[in-house]
Structure 1
């Protein structure tokens, strides 16, 4: 019974930490959207602002499930520790992008940072793949969305000198 309890706690913590990252990022983004962000010139492919919240929520939940799948393989395994550490780095970079783009209102710094985030996500996928293929696959939509977000960030940077 204890193992079911431990797994449930791991599952909830895994999703919770990812959603918390999104919440922290929203502290910077939500206040900037109606003012600063609304006034920016954006690419023609830029979705309306209401799309970002639901998409990110789904992505954070998928990230949390992926984290759980890796964590559940056993913290004592070196591959699990490495994968979770890389995951932690990319999660910090995820929050940092919101701070740089919306908080500091710096598309240039955000563009540099999102490239680092993209690399960190790819590294996370590769590390997760060694532990759990389904966990790695769950991060693919995140990588694709951040690829799109890189394009959007670049567009804002170029269109708003």
Structure 2
């Protein structure tokens, strides 16, 4: 593989690592979080790290596959912009939930995060079905996270 063709791979991996590290750094599983009543059906704690690792790896692959399949320079720019916006929303959810300790605000924000993933699936799917397929676990997991977020608000609110 040529050096020039490796640059997008490296950039996609770095972007995924930056978003993952940002979210992980903001996530605080300390006393406040431990005091929250979780729904009985919530997954075990160890599963979150595994799921997010797979999701970020798939998202990095999806961004690369979509970027390479994009038919125009403008479409490639849109792919980068949509993934960057999604990464911002991903980190913002962690900030609202864990640092600001406002699961109620995070519940509103998770709708925007979910929509950004849906938009990525639709947009990238227009020219790359594999990229769209790679994003399905992400939207599935965020759907579960949104349901947990809703249950946490119901079981523990009001906040603020």
Q: Same fold (TM over 0.5)?
A: yes
1:82-101 to 2 correspondences below 5 Å: 82-101=78-97
Deviation at 1:51, TM superposition (A): 1.4
Is the counterpart of residue 156 in structure 1 residue 136 in structure 2? no
TM-score, L = length of structure 1: 0.91
Deviation at 1:76, TM superposition (A): 4.7
Structure 2 unmatched ranges of 5 or more: none
| More displaced 10-residue stretch of structure 1: 138-147 or 72-81 | 72-81
Task: Choose which of 130, 137, 153 in structure 2 pairs with 1:141.
Answer: 137
Please, what is the CA RMSD of the aligned residues?
1.5
TM-score, L = length of structure 2: 0.92
Question: Aligned equivalents of 2:97 and 2:152: distance in 1?
Answer: 10
Q: How many residues align?
A: 157
Structure 1 unmatched ranges of 5 or more: none
Deviation at 1:74, TM superposition (A): 5.8
Question: Aligned equivalents of 1:81 and 1:113: distance in 2?
Answer: 25
Is the counterpart of residue 103 in structure 1 residue 109 in structure 2? no
Is the counterpart of residue 43 in structure 1 residue 44 in structure 2? no
Match of 2:26 in 1: 28
Is the counterpart of residue 127 in structure 1 residue 127 in structure 2? no
Answer whether contact 1:7 1:72 (CA < 8 A) is retained.
Answer: no
Partner SS for 2:126: helix
Deviation at 1:89, TM superposition (A): 1.0
Question: Aligned equivalents of 1:50 and 1:79: distance in 2?
Answer: 38
Task: Choose which of 16, 19, 35 in structure 2 pairs with 1:18.
Answer: 16
Question: Aligned equivalents of 2:129 and 2:81: distance in 1?
Answer: 18
Question: Aligned equivalents of 1:105 and 1:79: distance in 2?
Answer: 37
Deviation at 1:72, TM superposition (A): 2.1
Question: Aligned equivalents of 1:9 and 1:67: distance in 2?
Answer: 13
